[in-house]
Amino acid sequence: MFSEEGGLSEVKTKAQAARRAAREVAVLSSDVKDQALLAMADALQSETARILEANALDLERAREAGITGALLDRLTLTPERVESMAQGLRDIAALDDPVGKVNRMWRRPNGLKIGQVQVPLGVIAIIYEARPNVTVDAAGLCLKAGNTVVLRGGSEAIESNRCIASIIGPAAEGEGIPAGSIALIENTDRKAAQMLMRLSGTVDVIIPRGGAGLIRTVMETATVPVIETGVGNCHIYVEKSADLDMAKAIVINAKTQRPGVCNAVETLLVDESIAPAFIPQMVKELQEHTVEVRGCKGVMDLATGVHPASTEDWHTEYLDYIIAIRLVSGFEEALDHIHQYGSGHSEAIITENYGVGHSFVDKVDAAAVYINASTRFTDGAAFGLGAEIGISTQKLHARGPMGLADLTSTKFIIYGNGHIRP
Amino acid sequence: MFSEEGGLSEVKTKAQAARRAAREVAVLSSDVKDQALLAMADALQSETARILEANALDLERAREAGITGALLDRLTLTPERVESMAQGLRDIAALDDPVGKVNRMWRRPNGLKIGQVQVPLGVIAIIYEARPNVTVDAAGLCLKAGNTVVLRGGSEAIESNRCIASIIGPAAEGEGIPAGSIALIENTDRKAAQMLMRLSGTVDVIIPRGGAGLIRTVMETATVPVIETGVGNCHIYVEKSADLDMAKAIVINAKTQRPGVCNAVETLLVDESIAPAFIPQMVKELQEHTVEVRGCKGVMDLATGVHPASTEDWHTEYLDYIIAIRLVSGFEEALDHIHQYGSGHSEAIITENYGVGHSFVDKVDAAAVYINASTRFTDGAAFGLGAEIGISTQKLHARGPMGLADLTSTKFIIYGNGHIRP
């Protein structure tokens, strides 16, 4: 019990310190923040050896626990990856500071001048899993947008995270960032994360970054406002007027270019009238790219090596070399399928018909709706928004790839000259 | 048990119907929505007698329960108030439709065209207390912004609300709004409200409108994202360079023009160096306006009839003819007081010093920060934003008076021509 209580007091203490620091960080000049980001980058690179040593401990523990494949890869740091984290901080320093931007300003008939200005959110908590690079990215983005941050990474990466935090924190402080602005919760017990989620009044917003299970837990437990990120059950609908070569190229890209990410396609919907001309070749190409194809009856009739798809498949975000294919009678049925099973992330139509494309863009309710392009573009960098803290799949505050501006709130500023309300 | 289960199934049934209707309402033309709003307004006016009869039942029950004063007044409808509700709907019809507005659009180097467009939130739940006019306002605003709405008013106003809903719902349907788009939960049991708060996936956002207790309950219970509204512990800081006549006029206005609302001032902070010149006259004027003055020791020494203020006073939103006054040593102490006790609603400084005003605007973290104007202006209409659904005191999504645009989300629309990610 002693260590647990000690651990929980760590959460409260660090969050409260972050809250105090937030008042100062909110009004720091861009120059101070940028100098700190550059110093953090330099410190990371010069301490590469120490980071790799810490990471080796995490990797050893992971291997002992039987972790392999993609998960082990995500946990692994190399000199190149450390350099890339440092470069990420330098890129953030080069972005425009979103704080203080006046979005609009107007004058009322009574002469009152009213403006709406971007201000930091305050204290941001990030709850994440095995990627140690999130520690650096999140700290950099939150700082640039004038926020303090409480980081709570997964137990798998605790040695790496602790080492990284011990490097970037002091480097930032050396450039005038108040102590406690970049806090890492070292207690990896579930109770520590739960406590963090319920510190309303101290923490302004929680952003979970990780799998569906983590995100669901945060949504259900938190009293602090949450920005939901990431689950992507994405569809591509090949409409009957589609350029079939374009459709094949986009499907292969959206499925195989990086299948483990949220903007990869999971289900393909195909108008039945073009299925005979499209499905056999499409399935063959997918299989050549080592993709397992699961299909409805109509698809199985048209191609070989197709496994039967169940309702569960329509619900599933595979994040793997698997795709589900379903034939639809036309636009309305495709729309209904996406409405019923989609997670509101990224949805695409392939069509040469102007009116159908127009309706798809209007009617599909998702963070990103595409005509004739791969769903893989849903990404802060690909959209040209700069670095990204995650992809919001909720409708409040921010939706889709979240850049620096999404880490700010607004306030109204009102300039009067003795104005009273009549 | 039977009636309770029946009542809870009402919540789910109506919320799910609202969800289904939301798909259609989201893509309705502005014309259809505006015609529906006008028909709702006409129906309200022509059914005034029926509404007043229903309201009389609520008022009778309220009087029997010993309800008097402001609460009874809020519950009371008159022909003029019904007309004013109808006019409110006509005003909403005259506002610009926020749906479909493209906030920004750009072209990436690869030719991909990316835009960010305003779209409805979906299903909005409003949980409110005794004012029957909220039933009309909220229904009108939600509809105009392309949303469906699930209304859950207080038990005090159930007869009025049920009557109003039975008028505006069919009037809207008559103009092509799908059935179920404007739903009233008739079960006024707490459990019904709790269930509504936890319908994630069916309800997109909850907006509580009412007192601090209601808002806290919603924040703690809801799994659906909440927009926190309304608690206003607002301050006016009279800085030493202030025009003292202006300060007095603004304080009297902010305290007495309408003391029962969230943007009324609750605590006055005064630089001690000007206190002898300011406090005696200020206190006298407040008392002449029947305001009870509570003060720190320094204030009590300078004026008569001042009650001692305790720490609890600094925390209190009186919503009444009471004000707390505290002397401060200067700008930093005023800032600290506001930071510690303010609710982040509306904060004002009275000053003739440019630099001090500049710092106040930068450093105070609130939805609305004023120089030389009454806090009473924090209001959608006074800001020129049109009708208002509430005043957000949270930092996510919307902060300050929320107009129609705050009842929308966004989506990215991406136009390609066979684009794949390299």
Task: Give B32-56 pLDDT, tens digit per residue.
Answer: 999 999 999 999 999 999 999 999 9
Count CB-CB contacts under 10 A for residue A335. 22
Contacts of B374 in chain A (CB under 8 A): 416, 419-421
pLDDT, greater one: B246 or B74: B246
SS3 A102: strand
- Any CB–CB contact under 8 A between B382 and chain A? yes
Q: Do residue B373 and residue A204 have CB atoms under 8 angstroms apart?
A: no
- Each residue of A242-256: pLDDT tens digit? 999 999 999 999 999
Check whether B5 has a pLDDT greater than 60: no
- Any CB–CB contact under 8 A between A222 and chain B? no
Shortest alpha-carbon distance between residue A414 and chain B (Å):
5
Which chain B residue shows the shortest CA-CA distance from A206? B396
> What CATH number should be reported for the domain whose range is B234-382?
3.40.309.10
The stretch B150-176 carries a mean pLDDT of 97
Contacts of B223 in chain A (CB under 8 A): 219-220
* Structural fold of domain A2-228: Aldehyde Dehydrogenase; Chain A, domain 1 (3.40.605)
Average pLDDT over all residues of chain A: 95
Question: Distance between CA atoms of A357 and A375, rounded to whole angstroms?
Answer: 15
In this prediction, residue B6 carries a pLDDT of: 53
CA distances from A174 to A38, A114, A359, B131, B219 (A): 11, 38, 55, 55, 39
- Any CB–CB contact under 8 A between B372 and chain A? yes
- Any CB–CB contact under 8 A between A257 and chain B? yes
- Each residue of B332-375: pLDDT tens digit? 999 999 999 999 999 999 999 999 999 999 999 999 999 999 99
Q: Do residue A368 and residue B420 have CB atoms under 8 angstroms apart?
A: no
* A32, A192 Cβ separation under 8 angstroms: no
Q: What is the 3-state secondary structure (H, E, C) of chain B?
A: CHHHHHHHHHHHHHHHHHHHHHHHHCCCCHHHHHHHHHHHHHHHHHCHHHHHHHHHHHHHHHHHCCCCHHHHHHHCCCHHHHHHHHHHHHHHHHCCCCCCCEEEEEECCCCCEEEEEEEECCEEEEEECCCCHHHHHHHHHHHHCCCEEEEECCHHHHHHHHHHHHHHHHHHHCCCCCCCCEEECCCCCHHHHHHHHCCECCECEEEEECCHHHHHHHHHHCCCCECCECCCCEEEEECCCCCHHHHHHHHHHHHHCCCCCCCCEEEEEEEHHHHHHHHHHHHHHHHHCCCEEEECHHHHHHCCCCEECCHHHHHCCCCCCEEEEEEECCHHHHHHHHHHHCCCCEEEEECCCHHHHHHHHHHCCCCEEEEEECHHHCCHHHHCCCCCCEEECCCCCCCEEECHHHHEEEEEEEEEEEECCC
CATH number for B2-228+397-415: choose from 2.40.30.10, 3.30.565.10, 3.60.21.10, 3.40.605.10: 3.40.605.10
The minimal CB distance from B396 to the residues A363, A397, A417 is found for: A397
* A128, A210 Cβ separation under 8 angstroms: yes
Shortest alpha-carbon distance between residue A55 and chain B (Å):
31
* A92, A379 Cβ separation under 8 angstroms: no
Query: Please, what sign has the CA dihedral across residues A134, A140, A141, A145?
Result: positive
Query: Please, what sign has the CA dihedral across residues A198, A201, A203, A209?
Result: positive
Contacts of A417 in chain B (CB under 8 A): 372-373
The letter for the amino acid at B216 is R
Spans of all domains in chain A: 2-228, 234-382
- Any CB–CB contact under 8 A between B343 and chain A? no
Regions of chain A with pLDDT less than 50: 1-4
**Nearest 5 degrees, angle CA A178-CA A88-CA A14?**
30
Q: Look up the ipTM and state it.
A: 0.93
Give the phi and the psi of residue B120 in degrees, each rounded to 5. -60, 155
- Any CB–CB contact under 8 A between B250 and chain A? yes
pLDDT confidence band for B313 (50 / 70 / 90): very high
CA distances from A380 to A21, A211, A233, B115 (A): 28, 19, 19, 13
- Any CB–CB contact under 8 A between A16 and chain B? no
Contacts of A98 in chain B (CB under 8 A): none
Q: Which of residues 197-216 of A touch B (CB under 8 A)?
A: 200, 204-205
pLDDT confidence band for B386 (50 / 70 / 90): confident
Q: What percentage of residues in chain B have a pLDDT greater than 70?
A: 98
Q: What percentage of residues in chain B have a pLDDT greater than 90?
A: 88
Q: Provide the CA B376 distance to its chain's centre, in angstroms.
A: 13
In this prediction, residue B1 carries a pLDDT of: 35
Q: Provide the CA B208 distance to its chain's centre, in angstroms.
A: 8
Question: Distance between CA atoms of A126 and B29, rounded to whole angstroms?
Answer: 40
In this prediction, residue B8 carries a pLDDT of: 83
Say if strands A102-107 and A113-120 run parallel, antiparallel, or are unpaired.
antiparallel
Q: Do residue A362 and residue B27 have CB atoms under 8 angstroms apart?
A: yes
- Each residue of B260-299: pLDDT tens digit? 889 999 999 999 999 999 999 999 999 999 999 999 999 9
Question: Distance between CA atoms of B14 and B202, rounded to whole angstroms?
Answer: 10
Give this prediction's pTM.
0.92
Question: Distance between CA atoms of A351 and A274, rounded to whole angstroms?
Answer: 12
Check whether B3 has a pLDDT greater than 50: no
Shortest alpha-carbon distance between residue B419 and chain A (Å):
5
Q: Which residues face A107 on adjacent strands?
A: A113
Q: Which of residues 145-174 of A touch B (CB under 8 A)?
A: none
Q: What percentage of residues in chain A have a pLDDT greater than 90?
A: 88
Check whether B409 has a pLDDT greater than 80: yes
* A180, A148 Cβ separation under 8 angstroms: yes
